[in-house]
């Protein structure tokens, strides 16, 4: 279930809602897309802020980007697939292939700097998870030389 605000934006902007089963097929021929992965709006105050930002990002792209919204039931599996660690998330795809991700809410100027950098990339597999120090994985002393 999306927040009422996001529901209204989806309806007004006519954004497709995709899930883990149809996402690849729907986005395979869609060009450059922001896949919006909202997260739990009752728990995360940034969800509605990000929902309002999404159509503004699409407008600012002057036709380069389109948007799709991921169904809430698919969020965990897609989070694991694209290896990001926070919601809300804007996953950038080119014809269904991964370009990059921006999580949480940023200042507008940061979007205007980061998005062109992401769109200049060639599609690649998502990067490995990066764990903060002390949260698993080898310490600096334990890493091989």
Dump pLDDT digits (tens) for 106-138: 999 999 999 999 999 999 999 887 665 655 555
**What are the structure tokens assigned to 108, written together?**
């507008």
Rounded to whole angstroms, the Cα distance separating 47 from 58 reads 17
pLDDT in tens, 61-84: 999 999 999 999 999 999 999 999
Record: fold of 4-119: Glutaredoxin (3.40.30)
pTM of the model: 0.88
- Burial string for 43-62 (b: 16+ CB within 10 Å, else e) reads ebebbbebbebbeebbeebe
Task: List residues bridging with 59 in a β-sheet.
Answer: none
């Amino acid at each position: 279930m999306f927040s009422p605000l996001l529901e209204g934006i989806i309806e007004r902007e006519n954004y497709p809602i995709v899930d883990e089963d149809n996402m690849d097929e729907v986005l395979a021929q869609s060009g450059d897309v922001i896949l919006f992965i909202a997260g739990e709006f009752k728990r995360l105050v940034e969800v509605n802020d990000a929902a309002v930002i999404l159509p503004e990002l699409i407008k600012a792209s002057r036709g380069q980007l389109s948007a799709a919204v991921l169904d809430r039931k698919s969020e965990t599996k897609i989070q694991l697939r694209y290896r990001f660690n926070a919601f809300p998330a804007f996953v950038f795809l080119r014809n269904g292939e991964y370009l990059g991700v921006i999580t949480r809410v940023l200042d507008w100027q940061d979007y205007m700097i980061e998005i062109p950098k992401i769109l200049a990339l060639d599609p690649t597999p998502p990067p490995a998870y990066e764990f903060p120090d002390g949260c698993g994985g080898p310490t600096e002393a334990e890493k091989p030389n």
